[in-house]
C-alpha cells in the first residue's frame, strides 16, 4: 500500500496528531475517543511513506504492539531534564576524513605579528577604526588608555545603535572595571599580549556571569546563566575588555531578534544578515575593534559578507564552545569577526586550545607569521564556480588577479564529491530540534518573532519527521564527504571559492574545514543615498588545523587592497 504525503498528513490529523514525531514510525498519537492503543496499523501505514517502507498488513500488525510499548520509553526520556548545554555521548571528529593535526616546534607556535610604531591618531574616529596591532601599540606605549578606548567604543555603540540595533546588553560596569585593571597593569609594565586592554563585543549566545544571555529569542530574553563561556574567559585572561553582548537572529538564524532587525552599516535599509548579526554590524561601524561570532551554516561568512568585514570560521574543535548556546553539536564553531585577517589571527591565537569542558576540542598549533612569503603557496580555485554568473563575479576575478600578482600558483580544482550535501544538512535541523525539544513540545516556539515556513518553529517540527535510521545514515555518509573533501584539499595550502558558490559553504561546515571570509567589493546601491554600498566577499578555505594558511593568504591580499579599511556611511 502506498500513501502519499497529503494522505499521511490527513491520516495524522484525523487522530489529533500534534505534529511532533520522535521518528517517522515512532509517532505519539491518540485516537479521537481517547480510548484504545495510541498507535494503530493505520498510523503505521501513514508513516511508511516517510520511512521509505512498504509493509504488508501482517507486518504492520506485528509492529503495533512494539511501537505502543516504546511510547512509555519515550515518555521516560522526555521526563528527564536535558539542558541545552548537555552534549550527546558521541563527539564529532573532523579527522575521520583523513587529516591529522600538524606538529610544529614550540617556538613556531603562535601568532607572530610585529606591532607598528605610530603616533596617537588625531581623531576619535581614527582611533575607533585603528587595527588591533595599532591599538595594541598605542596601549602598550600608553599613548591611549584602556579606559579611554572602552569609553570611546561604548559611546559609539550608544550613538549608532538606534540605527543598527546591534546591542542586546551593555556590560559597562564589567568593562570599566577590566579597563581600569588593564591600565594599572600596563602602567606597571605588565603586558599580557596584544589584546591587553582591548575592548570587544560578543554574540549573545555566549554566557557571561552576572549578565543576561538571551540567545536573541523571546522565550530566553530574561535568561541568566551563571558562568562565563570559555572563549570569553580566555579573552578575560588575555586582558581584553568586553563592552557589550551583541545581537543574533533568534536562536542563531538570521538578523531578526526579539527586539528588532540588526542593520547593515553600509545600507540601513538592509538587515546585516546573520546569525552573527550584531558582531558584524558593530565591527563594520567602528563600534568595537573585534567581536566573537559563531557559525553553524554561514553565520560568520554571511554577515561578514553583508557588512564588509573579515570573518574567520576556525577548524571545528579548535575553539571551545563551553558556555555557548548549542544549536548543532557536530557543526557549531566560534570565531572572530574583525576588520582584517591580521586582526582575526591575533584573536584566534587567544581563543584556540583544548578545553575539558568541551569534549570536541583539541590542541592544534598556529604557526602564523605575518611576514611569511606566500608565493610558494599552492592555491586551488573552484574554476567552474567562478565561471558562473553571480553578483560578486567581477570583484572575485580581481581578487584572483591579486593572488596571481603575488606570485601564487593558482590551480583549477573541483569538489569531487558524490554525496548529497543538501540531504546531509538535515543533520543541523535534527540536532537543533533536539537542542530545543522542550521549547517545541511546550509551545514556547509560538512566542518567537519569526513564524512560517523558513523559521525555527517549523524546522523544529519538521525535524521530528526525520526517521532515526536516516539520521544515522547521514552521519555515515558524512564520513564519505569528509574523505572526499580531504582528497580535494590535502595537497593545497588554500582553496579559494566564491563565498556562496560551488557548494563550499555547505561542504566545509559539514567537514569542519576553516574559512576566512575576505571583503573584496563595495558595489553601488541603486536606491538610497549615493554613499551607500553593497559589500561582497570571497572565501579562502584551508586544510583542517591549518587556519594560519588561510589567514596568511588573506593578509597578503589585504596588504595589496584597501576594501577592509573603508568606513561605512551608517546613514
**Residue 534's domain is classified under what CATH number?**
3.90.1300.10
- Tell me the torsion sign for CA atoms 234, 143, 290, 263: positive
Please indicate whether residue 466 or residue 21 has the higher confidence score (pLDDT).
466
Please indicate whether residue 2 or residue 514 has the higher confidence score (pLDDT).
514
Residue at 65 is within a domain? no
Domain count, the chain: 1
Residues 6+ positions from 208 with CB-CB distance below 8 Å = 171, 174, 202, 228, 229, 232, 242, 245
Residue at 238 is within a domain? yes
Question: What pLDDT is stored for residue 316 in this prediction?
Answer: 98
Work out the pLDDT band at 36, boundaries 50, 70, 90: low
Work out the pLDDT band at 31, boundaries 50, 70, 90: very low
Residue at 299 is within a domain? yes
- Is the pLDDT at 4 greater than 70, yes or no? no
Residue at 346 is within a domain? yes
Structural domain boundaries, residue 479: 94-359+369-419+471-565
User: Alpha helices, DSSP H only, in 20-56?
Assistant: 41-51
Task: Calculate the CA dihedral of residues 264, 230, 207, 443 and round it to 10 degrees.
Answer: 90
Task: For residues 345-356, give the mean pLDDT.
Answer: 98
Could you confirm whether 304 is annotated as catalytic? no
Share of the chain above pLDDT 70, in %: 94
Closest CA to 48 of 14, 74, 11: 11
- Is the pLDDT at 64 greater than 70, yes or no? yes
Q: Which helix (H) or strand (E) holds 426?
A: helix 426-435
Which candidate in 275, 294, 304, 499 is catalytic? 275
Work out the pLDDT band at 8, boundaries 50, 70, 90: very low
Cell numbers standing for residue 118 = 605610530
pLDDT in tens, 272-293: 999 999 999 999 999 999 999 9
Task: For residues 425-446, give the mean pLDDT.
Answer: 97
Residues 417-446 as b or e (16 or more Cβ within 10 Å = b)? bebebeebbbbbbbbbbbbbbebbeeebbe
Q: Is 230 exposed, middle or buried (0-12, 13-18, 19+ CB in 10 A)?
A: buried
Residue at 40 is within a domain? no
Could you confirm whether 299 is annotated as catalytic? yes
pLDDT in tens, 499-517: 999 999 999 999 999 999 9
Task: Round the average pLDDT of the chain to a whole number and report it.
Answer: 94
Task: For residues 473-487, give the mean pLDDT.
Answer: 98
Task: For residues 43-69, give the mean pLDDT.
Answer: 92
Task: For residues 249-261, give the mean pLDDT.
Answer: 98
Question: What pLDDT is stored for residue 493 in this prediction?
Answer: 98
Question: What pLDDT is stored for residue 35 in this prediction?
Answer: 56
Residue at 392 is within a domain? yes
Task: For residues 354-362, give the mean pLDDT.
Answer: 98
Question: What pLDDT is stored for residue 549 in this prediction?
Answer: 98
Residue at 387 is within a domain? yes
Residue at 308 is within a domain? yes
Q: List Cα–Cα distances, 267 to 20, 390, 530, 532, in angstroms.
A: 41, 20, 10, 5
Distance CA 300, CA 317 (A): 16
pLDDT in tens, 170-221: 999 999 999 999 999 999 999 999 999 999 999 999 999 999 999 999 999 9
Which candidate in 131, 146, 203, 539 is catalytic? 203
Distance CA 43, CA 255 (A): 39
Which candidate in 273, 276, 299, 302 is catalytic? 299
Could you confirm whether 143 is annotated as catalytic? no
Amino acid at each position: 500500500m502506498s500513501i502519499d504525503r497529503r494522505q499521511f498528513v490527513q491520516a495524522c490529523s484525523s487522530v489529533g496528531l500534534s505534529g511532533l514525531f520522535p521518528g517517522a514510525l515512532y509517532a505519539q498519537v491518540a485516537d479521537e475517543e481517547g480510548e484504545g492503543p495510541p498507535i494503530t496499523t493505520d498510523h503505521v501505514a501513514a508513516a511508511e511513506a516517510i520511512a521509505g517502507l512498504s509493509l504488508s498488513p501482517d507486518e504492520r500488525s506485528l509492529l503495533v504492539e512494539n511501537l505502543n510499548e516504546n511510547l512509555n520509553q519515550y515518555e521516560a526520556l522526555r521526563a528527564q531534564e536535558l539542558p541545552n548545554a548537555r552534549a550527546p555521548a558521541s563527539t564529532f571528529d573532523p579527522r575521520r576524513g583523513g587529516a591529522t593535526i600538524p606538529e610544529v616546534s614550540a617556538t613556531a607556535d603562535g601568532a607572530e605579528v610585529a606591532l607598528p610604531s605610530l603616533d596617537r591618531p588625531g581623531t576619535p574616529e581614527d582611533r575607533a577604526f585603528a587595527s588591533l596591532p595599532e591599538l595594541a601599540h598605542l596601549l602598550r606605549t600608553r599613548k591611549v588608555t584602556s579606559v579611554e578606548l572602552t569609553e570611546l567604543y561604548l559611546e559609539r555603540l550608544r550613538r549608532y545603535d538606534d540605527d543598527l540595533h546591534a546591542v542586546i546588553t551593555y556590560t559597562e560596569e564589567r568593562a570599566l572595571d577590566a579597563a581600569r585593571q588593564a591600565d594599572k597593569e600596563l602602567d606597571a609594565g605588565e603586558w599580557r599580549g596584544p589584546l591587553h586592554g582591548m575592548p570587544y563585543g560578543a554574540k549573545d549566545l555566549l554566557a557571561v556571569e552576572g549578565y543576561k544571555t538571551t540567545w536573541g529569542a523571546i522565550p530566553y530574553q530574561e535568561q541568566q546563566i551563571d558562568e562565563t563561556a570559555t572563549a570569553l574567559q580566555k579573552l578575560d585572561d588575555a586582558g581584553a575588555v568586553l563592552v557589550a553582548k551583541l545581537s543574533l537572529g533568534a536562536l542563531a538564524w538570521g538578523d531578526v531578534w526579539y527586539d528588532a532587525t540588526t542593520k547593515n552599516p553600509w545600507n540601513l535599509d538592509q538587515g546585516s544578515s546573520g546569525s552573527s548579526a550584531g558582531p558584524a554590524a558593530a565591527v563594520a561601524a567602528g563600534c568595537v575593534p573585534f567581536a566573537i561570532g559563531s557559525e553553524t551554516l554561514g553565520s560568520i561568512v554571511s554577515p561578514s559578507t553583508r557588512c564588509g568585514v573579515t570573518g574567520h570560521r576556525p577548524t571545528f574543535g579548535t575553539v571551545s564552545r563551553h558556555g555557548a548556546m548549542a544549536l548543532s553539536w557536530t557543526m557549531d564553531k566560534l570565531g572572530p569577526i574583525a576588520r582584517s585577517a591580521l586582526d582575526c589571527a591575533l584573536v584566534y591565537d587567544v581563543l584556540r586550545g583544548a578545553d575539558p569542558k568541551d569534549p570536541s576540542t583539541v590542541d592544534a598549533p598556529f604557526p602564523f607569521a605575518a611576514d611569511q612569503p606566500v608565493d610558494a603557496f599552492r592555491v586551488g580555485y573552484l574554476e567552474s564556480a567562478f565561471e558562473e554568473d553571480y553578483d560578486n563575479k567581477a570583484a572575485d576575478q580581481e581578487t584572483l588577479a591579486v593572488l596571481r600578482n603575488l606570485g601564487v600558483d593558482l590551480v583549477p580544482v573541483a569538489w569531487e564529491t558524490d554525496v548529497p550535501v543538501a540531504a546531509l544538512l538535515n543533520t543541523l535541523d535534527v540536532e537543533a530540534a533536539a537542542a530545543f525539544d522542550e521549547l517545541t513540545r511546550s509551545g514556547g516556539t509560538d512566542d518567537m518573532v519569526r513564524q512560517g515556513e523558513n523559521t525555527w518553529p517549523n524546522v523544529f517540527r519538521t525535524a521530528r519527521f526525520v526517521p532515526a535510521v536516516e539520521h544515522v545514515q547521514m552521519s555515515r555518509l558524512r564520513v564519505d564527504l569528509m574523505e572526499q573533501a580531504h582528497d580535494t584539499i590535502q595537497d593545497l595550502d588554500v582553496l579559494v571559492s566564491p563565498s556562496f558558490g560551488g557548494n563550499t559553504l555547505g561542504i566545509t561546515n559539514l567537514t569542519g574545514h576553516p574559512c576566512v571570509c575576505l571583503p573584496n567589493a563595495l558595489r553601488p546601491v541603486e536606491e538610497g543615498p549615493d554613499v551607500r554600498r553593497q559589500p561582497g566577499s570571497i572565501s579562502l578555505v584551508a586544510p583542517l588545523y591549518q587556519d594560519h594558511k588561510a589567514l596568511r593568504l588573506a593578509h597578503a591580499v589585504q596588504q595589496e587592497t584597501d576594501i577592509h579599511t573603508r568606513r561605512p556611511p551608517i546613514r
